[in-house]
Amino acid sequence: MSGLTTSSLGRKVAMSLSGFFLITFLLVHLGINLTLFIGADTFNAASHFMATNPLIQVMQYVLAAGFVFHIFMGIWLELKNRASRPIKYAKNNAAANSGWASRNMIYTGILILLFIILHLKDFFVKIKFGEVHDDYELVTELFKNPIYVLIYVIAFILLGIHLSHGFQSAFTSVGARAPKYLKYVKNIGMAFSYFIALGFSIIAIYFYFA
Ligand code: HEM
């Protein structure tokens, strides 16, 4: 473990492994949220399953650990990169460099973290510790508030930007650097980023107007 977190390459690999894990979480989370369009019963059943299934309960702790790890490693990586910039940074990231998104990962990351704190307060904490009987109603009621929808959509756009670099960076850090793969990795990364940002945004906007 120490090699994984103390060497520069090890830190990048650790970042990418936790990133892959969070990418999987986002796909599952969006999949469940899209059942909001089917109707209250389906979404409530999916939400109930997620809240009661023993395996998912264990995975929630792994998820929390994955988030904390990703955040701390991200901050550490940023500080290390700052200390060794500009030459080393440019050299280390030649393959993965994608302009604005890659240079601002720390800022988009911090803003996404603020969103997650707000989001957990409004959904997770209320469902887990409050008196919520209908998850569908909780979600759809919150999206009647335009300020809320705006904050959420901004957060989803930032998440898309973060992923537009993070996705391809996760692959290049674990070795997918050959030019013939890089093109595909970049394209799939962009498609995935749009899918996540638009998928979550459409939910918030739809239920504002619904
Ligand atoms: C339209 C967008 C979204 C909706 C409607 C939504 C809804 C919810 C709901 C209802 C829960 C509570 C689930 C439960 O405890 O039973 C939840 C939990 C959570 N959400 Fe979201 N979410 C959205 C987007 C996001 C995004 C973009 C992220 C990450 C960047 C995220 C991260 C989390 C986390 C970490 C949890 C706690 C773990 C869990 O319960 O699965 N959510 N969300």
- Nearest by Cα to 36 from 130, 132, 135, 109: 135
Structure-token pair, residue 103:
């240079």
Q: Which is more confident, 95 or 48?
A: 48
Identify the pLDDT of residue 87.
55
Q: How confident is the model at residue 3 (pLDDT cuts 50, 70, 90)?
A: low
Instruction: Give the model confidence (pLDDT) of 93-116 as tens digits.
Output: 544 445 899 999 999 999 999 999
Q: Give the span between the Cα atoms of 169 and 16, in whole angstroms.
A: 7
Instruction: Give the model confidence (pLDDT) of 8-37 as tens digits.
Output: 778 788 888 999 999 999 999 999 999 999
Does ligand 1 have an atom closer than 6 angstroms to the CB of 29?
A: yes
Does ligand 1 have an atom closer than 6 angstroms to the CB of 50?
A: yes
Q: Report whether 145 contacts 128 (CB < 8 A).
A: no
Does ligand 1 have an atom closer than 6 angstroms to the CB of 123?
A: yes
Instruction: Give the model confidence (pLDDT) of 50-92 as tens digits.
Output: 988 999 999 999 999 999 999 999 999 889 888 886 655 554 5
Q: How far is CA 191 from CA 6, 24, 106, 170, 178, in A?
A: 33, 15, 22, 15, 20
Does ligand 1 have an atom closer than 6 angstroms to the CB of 176?
A: no
What CATH number did the domain enclosing 58 receive? Answer: 1.20.1300.10
Identify the pLDDT of residue 95.
45
Does ligand 1 have an atom closer than 6 angstroms to the CB of 47?
A: yes
Q: Report whether 59 contacts 163 (CB < 8 A).
A: no
Compute the C-alpha angle 152/198/40, nearest 5°: 70
Q: Which is more confident, 80 or 197?
A: 197
Q: Give one DSSP letter per residue of 13-65, joined into a string.
A: HHHHHHHHHHHHHHHHHHHHHHGGGT-HHHHHHHHHHHHH-HHHHHHHHHHHH
| Separation of CA 2 and ligand 1 centre (Å) | 32
56 Cα nearest atom in ligand 1: 41
Q: Give the span between the Cα atoms of 132 and 43, in whole angstroms.
A: 14
Q: How confident is the model at residue 6 (pLDDT cuts 50, 70, 90)?
A: low
Q: What is the mean pLDDT of the chain?
A: 89
Ligand 1 site-directed mutation target among 23, 24, 29, most atoms within 8 Å of CB: 29
For residue 1, pLDDT beyond 60: no
Q: How confident is the model at residue 166 (pLDDT cuts 50, 70, 90)?
A: very high
Identify the pLDDT of residue 150.
98
Does ligand 1 have an atom closer than 6 angstroms to the CB of 80?
A: no
Phi, psi (deg, nearest 5) at residue 176: -80, 70
Q: For 166-171, what is the mean pLDDT?
A: 92
Task: Give the range of the structural domain holding residue 162, as residue numbers without chain letter.
Answer: 2-209
50 Cα nearest atom in ligand 1: 16
Ligand 1 site-directed mutation target among 119, 128, 142, most atoms within 8 Å of CB: 119
Identify the pLDDT of residue 82.
85
| Separation of CA 147 and ligand 1 centre (Å) | 18
Q: Please report which helix (H) or strand (E) contains residue 190, including its range.
A: helix 179-209
Q: How confident is the model at residue 43 (pLDDT cuts 50, 70, 90)?
A: very high
User: Which has the minimum average pLDDT: 25-34, 112-121, 123-132, 171-180?
Assistant: 171-180
Q: Whose CA is nearest to atom 38 of ligand 1?
A: 60
| Separation of CA 133 and ligand 1 centre (Å) | 17
Domain count, the chain: 1
Identify the pLDDT of residue 84.
80
